[in-house]
Amino acid sequence: EAGVAQSPRYKIIEKRQSVAFWCNPISGHATLYWYQQILGQGPKLLIQFQNNGVVDDSQLPKDRFSAERLKGVDSTLKIQPAKLEDSAVYLCASSLEGLAGGTDTQYFGPGTRLTVL
Amino acid sequence: RKEVEQDPGPFNVPEGATVAFNCTYSNSASQSFFWYRQDCRKEPKLLMSVYSSGNEDGRFTAQLNRASQYISLLIRDSKLSDSATYLCVVNSALSGNTPLVFGKGTRLSVIA
């Protein structure tokens, strides 16, 4: 079974530039998550989609970050404009149903490593 | 107080040793608990869920103490391949969709 796919794997940009990341979840998974993992920290949820609707975006810095999952499958995460502190690994994960209490296993993609100079 | 706290390590242990990781969580309403493993420059992968009665999977044993809001992971007979960062993960809700909260992780290095 194919896992969660992400691209690009690496991205280097200068501050104030824009960047977009793409995620293709495991086929049939209704729930998609974007996490930010800063070096030395655990992943932090940015946004959670259930099909094409947003379930939780409370920790998404909405002045510069946006995400969409228009057809309920692939998703893109955009940063515009980027700041130095956005340097991190951006992980996409998916789960079958996104069951309450987090009892539904989340499968992570390999991540996109972003460096903002 | 951070929602999920772990000793960052690193824990450097010889092969064959037994090592234990601890984790505390601040939200007493937390309902689901997990240990994830993350290899260097790789994505996190679920190692095991943690149940109230404690659970074991081969060399790995996870325990939960709700009264103390404490979770542990014990690894027996450590292998070189166990070297990784172990993330303690907590979810707070019985209903609705609340996010998983990850600790910073505890780094383990098993040495030959």
Give the pLDDT confidence of B94-112 residue by residue, as tens digits. Answer: 555 567 899 999 999 999 9
Listed residue (A3, A89, A77) closest to A38, CA to CA: A89
Closest CB from B87, B94, B104 relative to A101: B94
Q: How far apart are CA A50 and CA A31, in angstroms?
A: 5
Question: Is the link from the previous residue into B10 a cis peptide, with omega within 30 of 0?
Answer: yes
Note whether B105 contacts A42, CB cutoff 8 Å: yes
User: What is the pLDDT confidence band of residue A103, given thresholds at 50, 70 and 90?
Assistant: low
* Confidence (pLDDT) at B61: 97
* Confidence (pLDDT) at B94: 52
* Confidence (pLDDT) at B97: 58
Note whether A101 contacts B91, CB cutoff 8 Å: yes
Q: What is the pLDDT of residues A3-31, one digit of tens each?
A: 999 999 999 999 999 999 999 999 999 99
Residues of chain A contacting residue B4, judged by C-beta atoms under 8 Å apart: 42
Closest CB from A41, A50, A56 relative to B99: A56
